[in-house]
Amino acid sequence: MGSAHSVPAEMRELADRTGFTSEQIEHLHRRFKQLSQDQLTIRKENFDSIPDLEFNPIRGKIVHAFFDKRNLRQESDGLAEEINFEDFLTIMSYFRPIEMNMDEEQLDRFRKEKLKFLFHMYDSDHDGKITLQEYRNVVEELLSGNPHLEKESARSIADGAMMEAASICVGQMGPDQVYEGITFEDFLKMWQGIDIETKMHVRFLNVDTIAHCY
Amino acid sequence: VHASPWLAAACFHVIPSVSSIVPESCLLIVVGLLVGGLIKGVGEKPPILKSDIFFLFLLPPIILDAGYFLPLRPFTENLGTILIFAVVGTLWNAFFLGGLMYAVCQLGGPGLNHIGLLANLLFGSIISAVDPVAVLAVFEEIHINELLHILVFGESLLNDAVTVVLYHLFEEFASFEQVTILDIILGFLSFFVVSLGGVLVGVIYGVIAAFTSRFTSHIRVIEPLFVFLYSYMAYLSAELFHLSGIMALIAAGVVMRPYVEANISHKSHTTIKYFLKMWSSVSETLIFIFLGVSTVAGHHYWNWTFVISTLFFCLIARVLGVLVLTWFINKFRIVKLTPKDQFIIAYGGLRGAIAFSLGYLLDYKHFGMRDMFLTAIITVIFFTVFVQGMTIRPLVDLLAVKKKQETKRSINEEIHTQFLDHLLTGIEDICGHYGHHHWKDKLNRFNKKYVKKCLIAGERSKEPQLIAFYHKMEMKQAIELVESGGIGKIPSAVSTVSIQNINPQTLPLERVLPALSKDKEEEIRKILRTNLQKTRQRLRSYNRHTLVADPYEEAWNQMLLRRQKARQLEQKMNNYLTVPAHKVDSPTMSRARIGSDPLAYEPKEDSENLPIITIDPASPQSPESVDLMSEEPKGCSGLPPSPEEDEEGLVMRVKEPSSPGTDDVFTPGNGDSPSNQRMLRCLSDPGPRPEPEEGEPFIPKGQ
């Protein structure tokens, strides 16, 4: 690609798979070593060493997402005990910025991936839909930075939001129908107006990413 | 003469075909031309747009309106791009144009030879700035997508600093014998002083205004005054010290808004919104009219070479500038600017009255060719406003540029947005990358911990954003619901989904009400109650037809109709969590029933205890609710005339007595028909009136 010295084969393979450039991978590797204290894997406890993360109301969910096997593209379900660098990169790849030379189909897949990641964060019991209780949990966590707030407020906001979601996804409902929960398709519908592909990204380095193919 | 501009504007809006082709600004200029011509024809000297009046009185309202309602999120997200266009773009335009015009002047023969480099550079700096008034006027009508709108508009606001610096610089230099390097360096530094100083002045006044609003809970009536006063003072102070007044005004508006809005009452908020819209509307109209009049009135000196080459190079400079800058900017942007975007940005670089006023300010002593400059400036303004202004709409359609999406802000979106913000901040922290989100989060935390405590009164200082948003939406929905009266289109998508559909275990009575603060809840209740009670008191005048018809039967029909409405209303109210749609009569409802029932009989005992709410669907209030959230006034749709209206004969409506604190201004008079309600800029509801005495029906029984 331009670097004179030979790039190790596994690095290149990683680059191909996750879409990062070698510089970005090196940078992230350094960070990984920092977090893991030079071990090969990271556990949940390692994330406690990040000071700024303390203030984050949803840190529990974020850390959980790193160990969620669904995000690690593994066939099985559940939580992993520890993750290695490759898994770390895999999670990070969800936050890659959009590239200009993507076509419609790639864009759509890109978007779905990011939304799937978000969906997994909301759906904590891994049953494929976001139930009212899980949604309430999300709102409670978001408001957890305000200790004097009563639980009632969080609950009713979640209820209102759920009703709105139901009316978007299903429309008119009779009094006997019950809306089980937000499925992934409904979730996609809710996010239709928002350009998630342009919003959900983190700048890793100011370097052009190589065009990558799945 | 004085009324003609507004008559013209009013006619303009009534004739739809004209407004779809010709933007309003063009029409106003034409009216100005006509008026000026008329005055000249009569033999009088038409007034010219004096720069003082322009800068002191006409410009600030427009800028304040823009700044106070500036969509902050897209602005800050694109701030880098906007700054580059504003600063580098304007500098490029000024020097490129100035230099080329100097070359033209040198080659242009005896008429132009004497114009020096400095004069040309000054001319370049005057004409190169994109004008916010013109941009607003044109872009408002084409409803382009948010990104492009904020880019062009933001650029037009922020380039004021550059224009101010360049203008004063070149003006001063023109009187110098010699320009040294030191002068140039000082000039360069003064740019930072002017822009940052302007922003600082604005921030200071903004904080003072926010602080003042914390203590105004007992004098609600003058709350709007503080907003206007402090903003104007920020502008004047900045202009006094030759800092950028526009940037001060924008900064003041942006800084004070979140805190002021948390502190002031709902009525004050509405007042501020509509006063700002009104003033900026008036200013805009006056500015364009005066431009037209000044064109007729001014002394012109037409020089073909100069004018044509100005026009030509202006366009070229703009296009080149945008192309080069975009190429540079796209390296750093995530969402790249497409060629279509670039075209719109280049095409949207309109010049306007600021350029004219600046040119007018030049004095003859140093700039003998002032008239020629003015002629050229006016030509460029006319060209951009007429040609570019008129053609931009068909071009936008032709190029299929993304239009603004009318998305309603929903609670879901708010939750997701906040969630995403926190998620991205967390990922940035894990990466060890101190990016955009990290600093924004830090600023938010600082804001919450220190600033909000100082500037927001009472317990609202601790209210998290999500809750505040939720309350806003609830309030808005409550008002919408009542104003629409149960019949007619309710703007919010109210479906039949109720709490039972999502949580079957909850019994309907076991409704969980969020912990509203007491006065918030009281405010919502007050609004509902007084709107429910606000009935058109129908005193039937003497009319043979009504006497002949069977009063009991008519009353029966009315009651059925009313019950049907109430049932619909009830069902819709079921969806709202804070408005208890009790089956049991709450004191609120029973008071409403007694007070509003003009008919002289008691509702039957077995009538399902439905609250009989007389809400007149043909109320002269505007059918479209006050949209607290959106900044643009929405167009109203008229309500279909109620069937009751036709039944009655002459109906005399008693105007309720006014009392201190009520704005009678907005109360429409008699003889209002639903068709009168089609106004482009809606009047809000007059707000709750003081309650009539409890328990006393408006019309005594037996009548």
SS3 of residue A68 by DSSP: strand
Residue A106 has a pLDDT of 81
Confidence of residue B61 (pLDDT cuts 50, 70, 90): very high
Query: Please, are residues B284 and B62 in contact by the beta-carbon 8 Å criterion?
Result: yes
Q: What's the number of CA atoms in the CB half-sphere (13 Å) around residue B31?
A: 25
Touching A: B residues 424-483, CB under 8 Å: 424-433, 435-438, 441, 445, 462, 464, 466-467, 470
At B507, the amino acid letter reads L
Which string of DSSP letters, residue by residue, matches A146-204? -TTS-HHHHHHHHHHHHHHHHHHHT-S--TT-----B-HHHHHHHTTTS-HHHHS----
Query: Please, are residues B184 and B147 in contact by the beta-carbon 8 Å criterion?
Result: no
**Would the pLDDT of B249 be above 90?**
yes
Q: What distance in Å separates residue B150's CA from the closest CA in chain A?
A: 17
Mean pLDDT, residues B264-283 taken together? 89
Q: What are phi and psi of B536, to 5 degrees?
A: -75, 115
Confidence of residue B569 (pLDDT cuts 50, 70, 90): low
Mean pLDDT, residues A173-193 taken together? 75
Confidence of residue B656 (pLDDT cuts 50, 70, 90): very low
Record: contact A28-B431, CB cut-off 8 A: yes
Selecting from A34, A163, A206 the residue whose C-beta is nearest the C-beta of B502 gives A163
Tokens describing residue A169: 């996804």
**Would the pLDDT of B489 be above 70?**
no
**In this complex, is the C-beta atom of B691 within 8 Å of any C-beta atom belonging to chain A?**
no
Percentage of chain B with pLDDT > 90? 17
Nearest to B467, CA basis, from A92, A151, A71, A89 = A151
Record: contact B334-A55, CB cut-off 8 A: no
Residue of A73 and A143 predicted with greater confidence = A143
Residue B90 has a pLDDT of 92
Record: contact A162-B413, CB cut-off 8 A: no
Q: Which chain A residue's Cα is nearest to B466?
A: A143
Touching A: B residues 330-369, CB under 8 Å: 331-332, 334-336
Residue of A207 and B688 predicted with greater confidence = B688
- Test the B interface: residue of A31, A83, A167, A198 with most B CBs within 10 Å: A167
Selecting from A31, A132, A138 the residue whose C-beta is nearest the C-beta of B419 gives A138
Nearest to B162, CA basis, from B82, B244, B234 = B244
**Would the pLDDT of B184 be above 70?**
yes
**Would the pLDDT of B295 be above 60?**
yes
Record: contact B497-A167, CB cut-off 8 A: yes
Residue A128 has a pLDDT of 80
User: Which residue do the tokens 């924004």 mark?
Assistant: B440
Tokens describing residue A206: 């100011």
Tokens describing residue B365: 């002593």
Residue B205 has a pLDDT of 94
Record: contact A142-B497, CB cut-off 8 A: no
Strand partners of residue B144? B403
Mean pLDDT, residues B661-674 taken together? 39
Record: contact B416-A194, CB cut-off 8 A: yes
Selecting from A31, A95, A163 the residue whose C-beta is nearest the C-beta of B575 gives A163
**Would the pLDDT of B477 be above 80?**
no
Residue of B482 and B273 predicted with greater confidence = B273
Residue B641 has a pLDDT of 39
The region of weakest confidence among A30-39, B464-473, B529-538, B568-577 is B529-538
Residue A7 has a pLDDT of 52
Confidence of residue B497 (pLDDT cuts 50, 70, 90): low
User: Which residue do the tokens 């880098």 mark?
Assistant: B80
Residue B324 has a pLDDT of 94
Selecting from A146, A163, A204 the residue whose C-beta is nearest the C-beta of B497 gives A163
Mind listing the pLDDT tens digit for each residue in B508-563? Answer: 444 445 555 666 767 777 766 666 555 433 333 444 444 444 555 556 667 777 77
Mind listing the pLDDT tens digit for each residue in B191-238? Answer: 888 989 999 999 999 999 998 888 888 888 888 888 999 999 999 999
Q: Is the pTM of this model over 0.80?
A: no
Which string of DSSP letters, residue by residue, matches B619-660? -SS-SSPP-SS-SSPPPP-PPPPPHHHHH-SSEEEPPPPP-T
**Would the pLDDT of B598 be above 80?**
no
CA gap B591, B534 in Å, rounded: 12
Record: contact B424-A58, CB cut-off 8 A: no
Confidence of residue B621 (pLDDT cuts 50, 70, 90): very low
Q: Which chain A residue's Cα is nearest to B419?
A: A142
- Test the B interface: residue of A29, A148, A199 with most B CBs within 10 Å: A199
Distance of CA B618 to the CA centre of its chain: 28
**Would the pLDDT of B426 be above 90?**
no
Record: contact B430-A164, CB cut-off 8 A: no
Mind listing the pLDDT tens digit for each residue in A11-58? Answer: 777 777 777 777 888 888 888 888 878 888 888 888 888 777 888 888
- Strand A41-42 to strand B538-540: parallel, antiparallel, or no bridges (unpaired)? unpaired
Residue B608 has a pLDDT of 44
Residue B637 has a pLDDT of 35
Q: How many residues does chain A have?
A: 214
> Which of the listed ranges B11-20, B168-177, B481-490 does the model predict with the highest average pLDDT?
B168-177
Selecting from B412, B437, B496 the residue whose C-beta is nearest the C-beta of A161 gives B412
User: Which residue do the tokens 């049932």 mark?
Assistant: B567
**B310, B311, B313, B316 alpha-carbon torsion, rounded to 10°:** 170
CA gap B84, B89 in Å, rounded: 7
Cα B623–B628–B634 angle (5° rounding)?
50
SS3 of residue A100 by DSSP: coil
Residue of B60 and B301 predicted with greater confidence = B60
**Would the pLDDT of B288 be above 80?**
yes
All residues at 6 or more sequence positions from B556 whose CB lies less than 8 Å from its CB, including other chains: none
Selecting from B412, B437, B438 the residue whose C-beta is nearest the C-beta of A190 gives B412
Mean pLDDT, residues B457-474 taken together? 73
- Test the A interface: residue of B333, B431, B517 with most A CBs within 10 Å: B431
**B376, B378, B382, B384 alpha-carbon torsion, rounded to 10°:** 60
Stated as kind and residue range, the H or E segment containing B316 is helix B304-329
Question: Which chain B residues touch A164 with a CB distance below 8 Å?
Answer: 410-412
- Mean pLDDT, chain B, rounded, equals 73
Query: Please, are residues B123 and B355 in contact by the beta-carbon 8 Å criterion?
Result: no
Selecting from B332, B405, B426 the residue whose C-beta is nearest the C-beta of A56 gives B426
SS3 of residue A42 by DSSP: strand
CA gap B155, B329 in Å, rounded: 14
Q: What are phi and psi of A181, to 5 degrees?
A: 175, 170
Tokens describing residue B471: 């309350």
Q: What is the DSSP letter of B450?
A: I
Question: Which chain A residues touch B331 with a CB distance below 8 Å?
Answer: 206
All residues at 6 or more sequence positions from B634 whose CB lies less than 8 Å from its CB, including other chains: B624, B627, B682
Tokens describing residue A14: 């990683």
Q: Which chain A residue's Cα is nearest to B576?
A: A160
SS3 of residue B663 by DSSP: coil
User: Which residue do the tokens 């005990």 mark?
Assistant: A81
Compute how many other C-beta atoms are within 10 angstroms of the C-beta atom of residue B73.
11
- Test the B interface: residue of A26, A93, A114, A164 with most B CBs within 10 Å: A164
CA gap A24, B52 in Å, rounded: 56
**B148, B152, B154, B158 alpha-carbon torsion, rounded to 10°:** 160
Which string of DSSP letters, residue by residue, matches A18-38? H---HHHHHHHHHHHHHHHTT
Residue B17 has a pLDDT of 67
CA gap B404, B401 in Å, rounded: 10
> 3-state secondary structure string, B328-382?
HHCCCCCCCCCHHHHHHHHHCCCCCHHHHHHHHHCCCCCCCCHHHHHHHHHHHHH
**In this complex, is the C-beta atom of B156 within 8 Å of any C-beta atom belonging to chain A?**
no
Q: What distance in Å separates residue A123's CA from the closest CA in chain B?
A: 14
Selecting from B437, B502, B512 the residue whose C-beta is nearest the C-beta of A156 gives B512
CA gap B660, B609 in Å, rounded: 36
Residue A158 has a pLDDT of 81
CA gap B424, B454 in Å, rounded: 29
Residue A5 has a pLDDT of 43
Residue of B332 and B298 predicted with greater confidence = B332
Q: What is the DSSP letter of A6?
A: P
**Would the pLDDT of B697 be above 70?**
no
Residue B491 has a pLDDT of 42
Query: Please, are residues B402 and B146 in contact by the beta-carbon 8 Å criterion?
Result: no
Q: Quick check: ipTM above 0.90?
A: no
- Strand A41-42 to strand A83-84: parallel, antiparallel, or no bridges (unpaired)? antiparallel
Confidence of residue B315 (pLDDT cuts 50, 70, 90): very high
**Would the pLDDT of B490 be above 50?**
no
Tokens describing residue B640: 């279909």
- Mean pLDDT, chain A, rounded, equals 75
Residue of B526 and B274 predicted with greater confidence = B274
Q: What distance in Å separates residue B456's CA from the closest CA in chain A?
A: 17
Question: Which chain B residues touch A204 with a CB distance below 8 Å?
Answer: 431, 433
Record: contact A153-B515, CB cut-off 8 A: yes
Residue of A76 and B269 predicted with greater confidence = B269
Query: Please, are residues B161 and B244 in contact by the beta-carbon 8 Å criterion?
Result: yes
**In this complex, is the C-beta atom of B107 within 8 Å of any C-beta atom belonging to chain A?**
no
Mean pLDDT, residues A159-176 taken together? 74
**B31, B32, B35, B40 alpha-carbon torsion, rounded to 10°:** -140
How many interface pairs between A and B have CB atoms less than 8 angstroms apart? 171
Selecting from B416, B464, B513 the residue whose C-beta is nearest the C-beta of A143 gives B464
Residue A205 has a pLDDT of 55
Touching A: B residues 622-681, CB under 8 Å: none
Alpha helices for B551-624 (secondary structure H): 551-573, 587-596
Mind listing the pLDDT tens digit for each residue in B4-59? Answer: 666 666 766 666 666 667 888 888 888 888 888 888 888 887 777 778 888 899 99
CA gap A112, A184 in Å, rounded: 10
